[in-house]
Amino acid sequence: MPSQKLTEAVLKNMPKPAKRTDIRDAQTTGLYLRVHPSGRKSWRMRYQFHDKPRVLSLGEWPAMKLSAARKAVLDHHETLAEGSDPAGDVQKAKAVRDRMPTVEEFAEEYIERHAKVNKKSWATDKRILDREVTPYIGKIGLDAVHRRDIVGVLDRIRDRGADTMANRTYAVVRKMFGFAVERGVLDLSPAQHIKLTAERSRDVVLTDDAIRHLWAVTAPYGESDKALPMHHATRLALRLMLLTGQRSGEVCGLALAELDHDKSVWMIPGRRTKNGLDQTVPLSDMALDVIAEAMDTASDEHLFAASSEAGHLTSYAPVQAMERIFDGWEPRYTPHDLRRTVGTRLGELGFNRLIVDKVLNHKDRSIGGVYDRHSYDLEKRAALDTWASALQAVIDGERENKVVPMAR
């Protein structure tokens, strides 16, 4: 085998041989260049392991420069000195690369094996990954993701003014990569040392005009010239949120088994509430009317049936609907603003903070709350019935329009 002092210039100007030729690099023991009649050039390493001759393919020139090929051979000599076969290490590394999932593939594993098992809000995690993450870095191998990639995803969200969503997205991404480390897919998570965006607490409640607008556009499409085309379940879920003050996810996932029509109550089990506490929601006549209308399209299990994986409306549907309903408004109202509106209006109607907290199922962490086991169902019914009457007055235009301040 001929030996030659190789340089990048020599490689570039090397003539095409009549037949395949191997050229030994005069500077690096074990490195040689294979030159094909077509002009293609590839790097190889010759060595012995356990007294047996071995050949290891390194890469092709010019993708692998001469300096990189020499460094690779020196690294492999160190592997030999440690008693290992470089070819075996290369094969192991290739096997790892071959079985390394993409971000999109591992996101599915995270949802199935972690989120669904441990989180009541798993559907929210899936929505965030599907909407905010995988469209941008989904095709990247999980081990190829850098912190900068994650920062780029978050910056896109921040640039549209959604600081809270940026933080929620980061929380899901950090949890997903932590799960990858836990399962041995990665050794280290790239989702570390990223600062959260400072969030400002929203103090937005719907004005009377906004309430009337919401109620008008959520009428059955075709029955009113103001009604917007939207899913039957979505429009009714928004109305029920405004009537009961319960969380979007709790309303969207309302199971028929949770309804007691004889007692006119909705009983939410703790496994579906944010704080893990059972919640009894007395239903006003207006709320019962909404439920009766929704029963027309209910499934065997859920009031607000949908074709989602969960079998019911997801929390993303009300978010999208509110964006459409209040497009061009300032502020842009969100589903959670409906819940804040109920709490604020109840305070305006004279109900104290304790009753408002019971209606909204806020956890009482005070000493008194630890020992108070009264259900407050009668008080909650009085509050929600009074709110339904006040809401109807707003809808009918019988109340003077004004911006309602946040109860402090």
HEC letters along 184-205 = CCCCCCCCCCCCCCCCCCCCCC
Cβ-count burial 355-382 (b if 16+ within 10 Å, e if not): bbebbbbbeeeeeeeeeeeeebeebbbe
**What's the CATH class of domain 3-98?**
alpha beta
How many CB atoms sit inside 10 A of residue 269's CB? 13
The residues that bridge with 255 in the sheet, in sequence order, are 302
Looking at CATH, the fold of the domain delimited by 103-183 is given as: DNA polymerase; domain 1 (1.10.150)
Distance CA 115, CA 310 (A): 13
Give me the pLDDT at residue 407, please: 41
Give me the pLDDT at residue 52, please: 85
Q: What residues have CB less than 8 Å from 152, skipping those under 6 apart?
A: 136, 137
Looking at CATH, the fold of the domain delimited by 208-396 is given as: hpI Integrase; Chain A (1.10.443)
Distance CA 234, CA 228 (A): 11
Domain ranges of the chain: 3-98, 103-183, 208-396
Helix/strand/coil for 235: helix
Over residues 343-392, the pLDDT tens digits come to 999 999 999 999 999 999 998 766 565 556 688 999 999 999 999 999 99
Token couple for 110: 């995270």
Give me the pLDDT at residue 200, please: 66
Distance CA 90, CA 56 (A): 9
How many CB atoms sit inside 10 A of residue 89's CB? 15
Per-residue pLDDT in tens (0 to 9) along the chain, 408 residues: 688 888 999 999 999 999 999 999 989 888 999 999 999 999 999 988 888 888 888 889 999 999 999 998 998 888 888 888 777 666 655 555 557 899 999 999 999 999 999 988 898 899 999 999 999 999 999 999 999 999 999 999 888 878 888 999 999 999 999 999 999 999 999 999 998 877 666 678 999 999 999 999 999 987 888 889 899 999 999 999 999 999 999 999 999 999 999 999 999 999 999 888 899 999 999 999 999 999 999 999 999 998 887 889 988 889 889 999 998 898 889 999 999 999 999 999 999 999 999 999 998 766 565 556 688 999 999 999 999 999 999 999 876 444 444 443
Domains 103-183 and 208-396 share a fold: no
Token couple for 187: 């050794």
End-to-end CA gap in the chain: 87
